[in-house]
Amino acid sequence: MIEILQLEEAATLAAIDELSSLFSQCVDGGASMGFMAPFPPEQAAVYWFEVAKSVGRNDLILLVARLNGRIEGTVQLGIATPPNQPHRADIKKLMVSPAARGHGLSRALMDAAETTALKAGRSLLVLDTATGEPAEKIYEHLGWVRSGTIPNYALFPDGRFCDTTIFYKQLA
Ligand SMILES: CC(C)(COP(=O)(O)OP(=O)(O)OC[C@H]1O[C@@H](n2cnc3c(N)ncnc32)[C@H](O)[C@@H]1OP(=O)(O)O)[C@@H](O)C(=O)NCCC(=O)NCCS
């Protein structure tokens, strides 16, 4: 059974081990998500501590997907936008553990992110993703609009260059 939860700061800190294991598996599995391989859970924990602080400052909304009681996926809504973009949010760090993929967790997380964004008054969502990776097709499938591609924008965890595609979705 898939359960989607929004974690506040204390709950984020309590979930750091699960979140770190998840993030480590995704980066070491080849996902271009800001970090290089190897990415051990201890290094991922440093990242999640910063996320917990951002949640506490109300700069970020953190959603997690639990499958059979365990955190197997997550996504973030960045809401620390400038004063002239109060209607916008950034979707960040959508990830599902390799073992739990293909069971609808990212669909459930992205649906919840949209509902949560609208509740927070955010009607325009923006994200970027590695070009040619499975997530690119999934965003299109979920109704996101492709804006364009920037060549060699980032690196894959193994050091190869990676193009990035920008998507947006107008919710209302
Ligand atoms: C990308 C990722 C999050 C997908 O997670 P997932 O839980 O396996 O995805 P889902 O099973 O929920 O699939 C989402 C939807 O996309 C569809 N889909 C899956 N693969 C697809 C493809 N190649 N083409 C088109 N649609 C696809 C699914 O059928 C589903 O749609 P539905 O609900 O209408 O059936 C996961 O592979 C992952 O964590 N990858 C590594 C991290 C990453 O790349 N994150 C993106 C960062 S921007």
| Residue that the structure tokens 């599902």 belong to | 96
Contact 86, 52 (CB under 8 A): no
The residues pairing with 165 across neighbouring beta strands, listed in sequence order, are: 129, 149
The pLDDT tens digits for 139-156 are 999 999 999 999 999 999
Written as six digits, the tokens of 138 are: 């999934």
pTM of the model: 0.98
Q: Under 8 Å CB-to-CB from 73, ≥6 apart: which residues?
A: 22, 64, 65, 67, 94, 95, 96, 97, 100, 105, 106, 108, 109
Q: Does ligand 1 lie within 6 Å of residue 135's CB atom?
A: yes
Distance 57 CA to ligand 1 centre (A): 30
The pLDDT tens digits for 24-71 are 999 999 999 999 999 999 999 999 999 999 999 999 999 999 999 999
Q: Does ligand 1 lie within 6 Å of residue 94's CB atom?
A: yes
- What is the set of domains in the chain, with CATH numbers? 2-170 (3.40.630.30)
Distance 112 CA to ligand 1 centre (A): 15
**3-class secondary-structure state, position 5:** strand
In sequence order, which ranges of 63-166 are alpha helices (DSSP H)? 105-119, 134-141
